[in-house]
Every structure is written in structure tokens, then in C-alpha cells.
């Protein structure tokens, strides 16, 4: 049976950009993808339901059939901004915090086993910040040797500060500190230090439960991206306690990085929430990760590696196969831009293929219908 009415809940990643950015992104790429997938229609302006919930409407047509989607943006960017470190001193503090959390307790080896690419990404801020410090000190020493005396010492200090400030500017441009912020935030979350997140999770789970009980809706999706996939686990686990009708629900995680929290020694509550989901036999969960995405754990069974038995839930690990969705020139450029690669899940493609974010969120087929035959990996 075709979907006539759908509700989508979306959780963004660790991104201070809020609903304005993601609404504009969806609207722009829905129009672009329409030329490829022949799903036509319109995306409305966004409206605020309350402080942490926004929505827009999508009226679409696929092969002559109409489908209406209410797209609800679950906002937590205010928490992200509160946790968003800035300035060199804070970056180095986060770096030391992460080294203690990931290296001294051996977590780095768990990440290396789960995803070598993720481990390499984790060392990116480490190498960059220590490298910048080494270059700054080296330049300061050269200046001191050339000038000498008190003036040389003063000039050396100015030179060191100048190099470090330049490294900060470059680091922001290439996304080094974005990664560092995510790793530090994940540790704080696993340790229960992000107090504000608990109330928001409970609020979001209430929203999901209310939608599940709406009999006029054919499909309800919880979509999440990047660090938002970590959040979606807690949201769903708590929503499961509030209602029992999950046959029209689907969970879709994009570019997941769940082990960043589930591997944390103190994150027992989070692993318990994963187990609650794993035990639910009527849930459908589709996990999309791309091997070229260095900011995720590609095609990795995060349940198993977190010590969770998931024989109950219908969970599938699938690649979007981006190499089939873009022409060779575009794909070659994208592979060099790791930041952009991490956001490809939310964008239009050059070619029609198995992965289509807009068919998933605005098309006439439910994800259970469309992906019932898909096998993991």
C-alpha cells in the first residue's frame, strides 16, 4: 500500500547551525533531486511549533500518486552551541581531555578495531595541534637566534602567538576543531556530564510517541545524521516505553558514530538503551554508512561491538554506494572533501540509484516496502 501521509522526525548532528540551515538544504536539494527521481512537489516555509520543534510540509507526487509529508526538525543546536568550545586554550584543553579519555584507558584500540578510518580521523586533531605547537616553538626559536637579547625574546613570543593564531584560523577552515569538539562532547555525554541533554531526549521521545498513536499517519520515520544518531538511540529507547504500536515506524541512521558513546566505560545507561531497542521485534532500523565517510563507522555492527545482542530487531547495515550516484569527476572531487562527504546523505545526487534521501522522505513507498529485500552490507 502506498504512503499517503508521512511524518518525519529529523535529528541533526553536532552542528550549531539550526533549523534555518537544514530547511534551506532540504528545499534546495529536493528541487535538484526532482529532476532525477521524478518526484515533483513543493516544500513549504518552516514554522515554529515550540522552542525545540519546527516543521515544514512537503506535498509531493510520484507516478501520479500524491503523498503528504510533515517534516519535523527536533532542535538541539542550542545545546551544541553551549558545548561548542572556541579559542586555542579551550582546544588544547579538549585535546588533553580526549587523550586521557581515549588513549589512557585503551579506547583507541577499540576504535581501531571497529573502524581504522575513524581512528585515523581521531588522530587528525592530535597531530594538527601538536604539530602547530611544534612549528610555533620552532619559529620562535629561529627568531630568538636571529635577534637575540630581550628584543629577541619578545619577538619570539610574538612569533609563537602569531603562528598559533594562524593555525587556529586554518584549523577552523579545514574542520579540525569540529572533530575535536565531537570527541570531547562524546566523552562528556558518556560520563553523564551533559545534563541538559536528558530533558531534551525525554521531550523528543514524547513527540515520537504521540505521532506513533496517530492513526491517520501511514508512516513515521526517525532520521538522524552523524552525532544525531547517538541521540536517536536514547530518544527511541524512551519512546518505546510510552506506546506499543510500532508497525508503521522506521528508524534511519546516516553516517552513524554511535560507538563514540557506546564504547565509553561509564556509558552503561546508554548501552542499556541500545539493548531495549535490540529486544524489540517489531522495529525496522536501516543504518546507512559510506566507506568514504571518514567521520562515521562504516558498515559496522555497533550493537555487537558494544556487547549488545540484537537478534530481535530488524537492523540492516547498508552502504549508500555514493560512487554509483555521482559522475566520475564529481565523485573524485567529493572524495577529497571529507567534510562534504559526511553530509552527502542529505543531498541530491547526479544519478538515480538505490539511495535517495528525498524518495525516502517524500516518496510513496515506505522504507519497509522499499528496503525489505535489502541485506546488510
The answer to whether residue 370 sits within a structural domain is no
The answer to whether residue 57 sits within a structural domain is no
Contacts of 228 (CB under 8 A, 6+ apart): 10, 11, 12, 13, 14
Confidence check: pLDDT of 373 > 60 = no
E strand or H helix at 40: strand 39-43
Domain housing 105? 85-189
Confidence check: pLDDT of 224 > 90 = yes
Residue 245: which pLDDT band, with cuts at 50, 70 and 90? Answer: confident
Q: What is the DSSP letter of 223?
A: E
Please tell me the distance from the alpha carbon of residue 267 to that of residue 83, in angstroms, as a whole number: 19
- What is the pLDDT of the chain when averaged over all its residues? 91
Please tell me the distance from the alpha carbon of residue 104 to that of residue 184, in angstroms, as a whole number: 15
pLDDT tens readout for residues 131-173: 999 999 999 898 888 887 888 889 888 888 999 999 999 988 8
Q: Which of 112-121, 241-250, 272-281, 298-307 has the lowest mean pLDDT?
A: 112-121
Question: Any bridge partners for residue 9, and if so which?
Answer: 72, 222
Phi/psi at 238 (5° precision): -80, -30
The answer to whether residue 276 sits within a structural domain is no
Q: What is the DSSP letter of 1?
A: -
Residue 267: which pLDDT band, with cuts at 50, 70 and 90? Answer: very high
Q: What is the DSSP letter of 325?
A: T
Q: Which three cell numbers stand for residue 341?
A: 562527504
E strand or H helix at 368: helix 367-370
Confidence check: pLDDT of 357 > 90 = yes
The pLDDT > 70 percentage for the chain reads: 98
Please tell me the distance from the alpha carbon of residue 322 to that of residue 345, in angstroms, as a whole number: 9
The answer to whether residue 118 sits within a structural domain is yes
Confidence check: pLDDT of 374 > 70 = no
Contacts of 26 (CB under 8 A, 6+ apart): 43, 56, 71, 346
Sign for the pseudo-dihedral over CA of 130, 132, 135, 137: negative
Least Cα distance to 261 among 340, 174, 194, 348 occurs for 194
Please, how many CA atoms are within 13 Å of residue 302, restricted to the half-sphere of its CB? 32
Confidence check: pLDDT of 375 > 70 = no
First-to-last CA distance in the chain? 27
The answer to whether residue 172 sits within a structural domain is yes
- Residue that wins the pLDDT comparison between 156 and 269: 269
Q: Which three cell numbers stand for residue 303?
A: 550493537
Unique residue bearing C-alpha cell 541533554: 197
Give the total number of structural domains in the chain: 1
- Residue that wins the pLDDT comparison between 337 and 135: 135
Q: Which of 303-307, 343-347, 372-376 has the lowest mean pLDDT?
A: 372-376
The answer to whether residue 7 sits within a structural domain is no
Please tell me the distance from the alpha carbon of residue 136 to that of residue 134, in angstroms, as a whole number: 5
Sign for the pseudo-dihedral over CA of 187, 190, 191, 196: positive
Q: What is the DSSP letter of 46?
A: P
The answer to whether residue 202 sits within a structural domain is no
* pLDDT score of 376: 52
The answer to whether residue 286 sits within a structural domain is no
Q: What is the DSSP letter of 144?
A: H
Amino acid at each position: 500500500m502506498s504512503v499517503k501521509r508521512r511524518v518525519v522526525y529529523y535529528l541533526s548532528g553536532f552542528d550549531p547551525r539550526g533549523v534555518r540551515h537544514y530547511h534551506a538544504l532540504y528545499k534546495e536539494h529536493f528541487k535538484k533531486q526532482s529532476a532525477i527521481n521524478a518526484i515533483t512537489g513543493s516544500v513549504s516555509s518552516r514554522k515554529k511549533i515550540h522552542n525545540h520543534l519546527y516543521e515544514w510540509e512537503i506535498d509531493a507526487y510520484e507516478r501520479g500518486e500524491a503523498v503528504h509529508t510533515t517534516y519535523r526538525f527536533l532542535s538541539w543546536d542550542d545545546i551544541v552551541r553551549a558545548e561548542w568550545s572556541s579559542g586555542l586554550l579551550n582546544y588544547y584543553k579538549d585535546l588533553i581531555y580526549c587523550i586521557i579519555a581515549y588513549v589512557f584507558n585503551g579506547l583507541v584500540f577499540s576504535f581501531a578495531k571497529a573502524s581504522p578510518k575513524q581512528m585515523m580521523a581521531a588522530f587528525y586533531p592530535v597531530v594538527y595541534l601538536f604539530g602547530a605547537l611544534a612549528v610555533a616553538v620552532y619559529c620562535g626559536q629561529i627568531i630568538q637566534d636571529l635577534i637575540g637579547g630581550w628584543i629577541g625574546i619578545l619577538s619570539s613570543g610574538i612569533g609563537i602567538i602569531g603562528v598559533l593564531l594562524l593555525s587556529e584560523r586554518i584549523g577552523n577552515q579545514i574542520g579540525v576543531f569540529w572533530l575535536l569538539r565531537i570527541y570531547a562532547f562524546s566523552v562528556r555525554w558518556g560520563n553523564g556530564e551533559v545534563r541538559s541533554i536528558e530533558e531534551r531526549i525525554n521531550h523528543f521521545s514524547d513527540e515520537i510517541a504521540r505521532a506513533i498513536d496517530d492513526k491517520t499517519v501511514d508512516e513515521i520515520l526517525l532520521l538522524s545524521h552523524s552525532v544525531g544518531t547517538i541521540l536517536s538511540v536514547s530518544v527511541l529507547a524512551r519512546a518505546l516505553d510510552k506506546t506499543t504500536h510500532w508497525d508503521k515506524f522506521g528508524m534511519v541512521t546516516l553516517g552513524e558514530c554511535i560507538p563514540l558513546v557506546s564504547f565509553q566505560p561509564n556509558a552503561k545507561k546508554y548501552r542499556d538503551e541500545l539493548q531495549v531497542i535490540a529486544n524489540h521485534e517489531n522495529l525496522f532500523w536501516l543504518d546507512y554508512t559510506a566507506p568514504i565517510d571518514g567521520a562515521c563507522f562504516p558498515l559496522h555492527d555497533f550493537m555487537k561491538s558494544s556487547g549488545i545482542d540484537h537478534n530481535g530487531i530488524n537492523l540492516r547495515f547498508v552502504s549508500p554506494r555514493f560512487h554509483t550516484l555521482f559522475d566520475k569527476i564529481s565523485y573524485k572531487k567529493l572524495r577529497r572533501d571529507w567534510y562534504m562527504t559526511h553530509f552527502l546523505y542529505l543531498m541530491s545526487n547526479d544519478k538515480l540509484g538505490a539511495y535517495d534521501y528525498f524518495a525516502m522522505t517524500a516518496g510513496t513507498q515506505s522504507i519497509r516496502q522499499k528496503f525489505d529485500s535489502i541485506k546488510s552490507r
